[in-house]
Amino acid sequence: MDLNFLEFEQPIAELEAKIEELRLVGNDSAINIGEEIERLQTKCRALTESTFSTLTPWQISQLARHPQRPYTLDYVPRIFTGFQELHGDRAFADDPAIVGGVARLAGRSVMVIGHQKGRDTKEKIHRNFGMPRPEGYRKALRLMELAERFRLPILTFIDTPGAYPGVGAEERGQSEAIARNLMVMAHLRTPIICTVVGEGGSGGALAIGVGDRLLMLQYGTYSVISPEGCASILWRSADKADLAAEAMAITSDKLKEHALVDEIIPEPLGGAHRHPDQMAASLKEALVRHLDILADEDLDDLLARRYKRLMGFARFKE
Amino acid sequence: MNWFEKLMPSRIRTEPNSKRAVPEGIWAKCPGCGAVLYRAELERNLEICPKCNHHGRLSARRRLDSFLDPEGREEIAPDLESVDPLKFKDLKKYKDRLAQAQKDTNEKEALVVMRGRLKGLDLVAAAFEFEFMGGSMGSVVGERFTRGVDAALAQGAALVCFAASGGARMQESLFSLMQMAKTSAAIGRLRQRGLPFISVMTDPTMGGVSASLAMLGDINVAEPNALIGFAGPRVIEQTVRETLPEGFQRSEFLLQHGALDLILSRRELRDRIADLIAILTHRGPV
């Protein structure tokens, strides 16, 4: 089993392996097997297309967590120039699960903030699997207030399983840290564009997710609790995560339907990790386009619209 | 549950909530110290155990009733009701859970908001109803809260909120998460106007409610020994395999770690909060 492929992608993986084999044979034999390779490639593409056109929410959830999925620091050099990472909350520590810094986007000075997961085991632990501690939210807040003072638009990239459920995180007031970010971001006097690039896990995601626009990559997810967490509470078994993923409407298409997301950014066939450059290019195009609009708006109007947008996130009858 | 209830077949068992309206019996056992107490006296004592000072849960209505002046009360947005935007169904339908909660609590939703007075001071007060789906925050809770903020802004009044909640309402998924942003944004407006927001955390104040409106008080108050935190203690134990320190996530622990301004007994809330608001708004003693 190829670990770069998810379980539901295994038939695709097998085909690709076969193509690879034929290529090797083709290299050291005189027989022309180019036709056969081409036939298999067409078949493989069709299979990928059909697999990816009928993904279940739970499968999308696995794609959002794919070990090869591009993370914030994979996008930064592909989208921005002159990025300089800035560290620390000035109070307790520097949280590596959230990164941030100043940069330029298409020539414009901006602030970049995003969750960061690790690629190998060592880095995963260093980044705490992308689960921020209070220091992370406070660093993000410090950088956002810095951005406000220097009129830098803020671009955030959301990709976290959620806030870190640890003793120290509670002791250092993670509730307050998250809450404060929500309140401050709602009124921060600079444009804010948030993009869910992977997992949008609950309060840990929202803590850098309040702004003027919410964009979402096609195979990102955003939910109030993880499918496993929801399943273990409501179905009393984490094995029902697929049902919970379905019920909670965590995928970009559903969230767009409910007007919670402003724009879905399509992913390359097979997901962002198959073609990170292509993904970054589409994301950059969308960010520049939205920022061009927001940067021209009067700040008071922008804030009034942001507030109205937040107040509108509700469904009820009276 | 007493021995008599256990004997009764479940179909004809009285609803748990009728306990509040019609006392199930003459005696009640304190969950804190196990003392057997006279039910009527416990109620007169605002559900505080006279032996060990355990603060039992108070319904939203009784909370507001015991806190506000009797005259000049008016409920805000009482007719708001939840819809089921996602057609959510787990082992039960969300619609059925809502109907059951409404029947059990006699409330339409998990937050009750009133305009009124506190020792003569104009005030808006909100209280969570924990018996309504664990006081969970969905669209209606968020909307009632922000309408309470709007009323406070319109009147130039202070806002007091009594939290008692397990957190976000999963059945509304991302809509419920967004209530955290919505309520926090509204509190930001109170701050801009210089109107006091006093947050009173009661047992329990967890998850998305703790990580939004509850922690944003100009003054954060808690009742004694209330469970307050973001992640639940069991979740922390299971995922991190850390042993939890003594008194972890209790009011006294939070006070020690700097998250609260003060812990107040339920009996003194009226006087102390009225005076806090009076001082913050440059008034003499009320």
Q: What ipTM does the predicted assembly reach?
A: 0.95
pLDDT at B172: 96
Nearest neighbour of A247 by CB, restricted to B83, B90, B214:
B90
Nearest neighbour of B83 by CB, restricted to A175, A247, A316:
A316
Q: What is the DSSP letter of B286?
A: -
Mutation to test the B interface, candidates A92, A137, A158, A170, most B Cβ within 10 Å: A170
Confidence of residue A29 (pLDDT cuts 50, 70, 90): low
pLDDT at B21: 46
Tell me the two tokens of residue A3: 């670990």
Q: B231, A170: Cβ pair inside 8 Å?
A: yes
Residues of B in contact with A202 (CB under 8 A): 168, 177, 208
Query: Over the stretch A101-131, which tens digit does the pLDDT of each residue have?
Result: 999 999 999 999 999 999 999 999 999 999 9
> Cβ(A252)–Cβ(A307) under 8 Å?
no
User: CA angle at residue A171 from A137 to A97, to 5 degrees?
Assistant: 30
Q: B231, A310: Cβ pair inside 8 Å?
A: no
Which chain B residue's Cα is nearest to A205? Answer: B177
Query: What does residue A173 show for φ and ψ, rounded to 5 degrees?
Result: 75, 60
Confidence of residue B8 (pLDDT cuts 50, 70, 90): low
Separation between Cα atoms, residue A136 and residue A180, nearest integer Å: 13
Q: Is A191 helix (H, G, I), strand (E, B) or coil?
A: coil
Nearest neighbour of A315 by CB, restricted to B79, B83, B245:
B83
Residues of A in contact with B170 (CB under 8 A): 224-225, 230, 233-234, 248
Measured in angstroms, the CA of B41 and the nearest CA of chain A are apart by: 36
Which CA distances in Å does B237 have to A178, B241, B245, B251?
21, 5, 11, 19
Residue B63 has pLDDT above 70, yes or no: yes
Query: Over the stretch A192-223, which tens digit does the pLDDT of each residue have?
Result: 999 999 999 999 999 999 999 999 999 999 99
User: Among A49-58, B8-17, B133-142, which is the least confidently predicted range?
Assistant: B8-17
pLDDT at A33: 80
Measured in angstroms, the CA of A260 and the nearest CA of chain B are apart by: 8
Tell me the two tokens of residue A56: 């279940």
Tell me the two tokens of residue A106: 């298409």
Residue A21 has pLDDT above 90, yes or no: no
Residues of B in contact with A230 (CB under 8 A): 170
> Cβ(B15)–Cβ(B103) under 8 Å?
yes
Residues of A in contact with B239 (CB under 8 A): 165
Nearest neighbour of A225 by CB, restricted to B88, B170, B186:
B170
Residue A190 has pLDDT above 80, yes or no: yes
Query: Over the stretch B216-260, which tens digit does the pLDDT of each residue have?
Result: 999 999 999 999 999 999 889 887 787 798 899 999 999 999 999
Query: Over the stretch B128-145, which tens digit does the pLDDT of each residue have?
Result: 999 999 999 999 999 999
Tell me the two tokens of residue B141: 């809770």
Q: A313, B182: Cβ pair inside 8 Å?
A: yes
pLDDT at B238: 82
Mutation to test the B interface, candidates A243, A256, A316, most B Cβ within 10 Å: A316
Q: B170, A187: Cβ pair inside 8 Å?
A: no
Q: A167, B245: Cβ pair inside 8 Å?
A: yes
Query: What does residue B116 show for φ and ψ, rounded to 5 degrees?
Result: -175, -155
Confidence of residue A35 (pLDDT cuts 50, 70, 90): confident
Which chain B residue's Cα is nearest to A236? Answer: B91
Q: What is the DSSP letter of B68?
A: S
Nearest neighbour of A315 by CB, restricted to B139, B185, B210:
B139
Q: B170, A170: Cβ pair inside 8 Å?
A: no
Containing H/E element for A113? strand A108-115
pLDDT at B243: 79
Reference A87, options A26, A138, A156; nearest CA is A138
Which chain A residue's Cα is nearest to B87? Answer: A247
Measured in angstroms, the CA of B156 and the nearest CA of chain A are apart by: 20
Nearest neighbour of B211 by CB, restricted to A175, A243, A260:
A175
Mean pLDDT across chain A, nearest whole number? 95
Residues of B in contact with A208 (CB under 8 A): none
Residue A24 has pLDDT above 50, yes or no: yes
Which residues, in sequence order, are CB contacts of A242 under 8 Å at separation 6+? A56, A57, A58, A227
Measured in angstroms, the CA of B286 and the nearest CA of chain A are apart by: 31
Residues of A in contact with B140 (CB under 8 A): 314, 316
> Cβ(B88)–Cβ(B172) under 8 Å?
yes
Query: Over the stretch B81-93, which tens digit does the pLDDT of each residue have?
Result: 999 999 999 999 9
Residues of B in contact with A167 (CB under 8 A): 236, 240, 242, 244-245, 248
Which chain B residue's Cα is nearest to A177? Answer: B211
Measured in angstroms, the CA of B212 and the nearest CA of chain A are apart by: 4
* Chain centroid offset of residue A213 CA: 14
Mean pLDDT across chain B, nearest whole number? 92
Confidence of residue B4 (pLDDT cuts 50, 70, 90): low
Mutation to test the A interface, candidates B89, B95, B150, B173, most A Cβ within 10 Å: B173
Which CA distances in Å does B52 have to A8, A180, A196, B27, B47?
58, 35, 49, 16, 12
Query: Over the stretch A222-231, which tens digit does the pLDDT of each residue have?
Result: 999 999 999 9
Residues of B in contact with A171 (CB under 8 A): 257
pTM exceeds 0.90 = yes
User: Among B22-36, B46-60, B225-239, which is the least confidently predicted range?
Assistant: B22-36
pLDDT at B18: 45
Query: Over the stretch A133-147, which tens digit does the pLDDT of each residue have?
Result: 999 999 999 999 999
Which residues, in sequence order, are CB contacts of B214 under 8 Å at separation 6+? A175, A179, B161, B163, B165, B199, B201, B205, B220, B228
Q: B240, A166: Cβ pair inside 8 Å?
A: yes
pLDDT at A28: 63
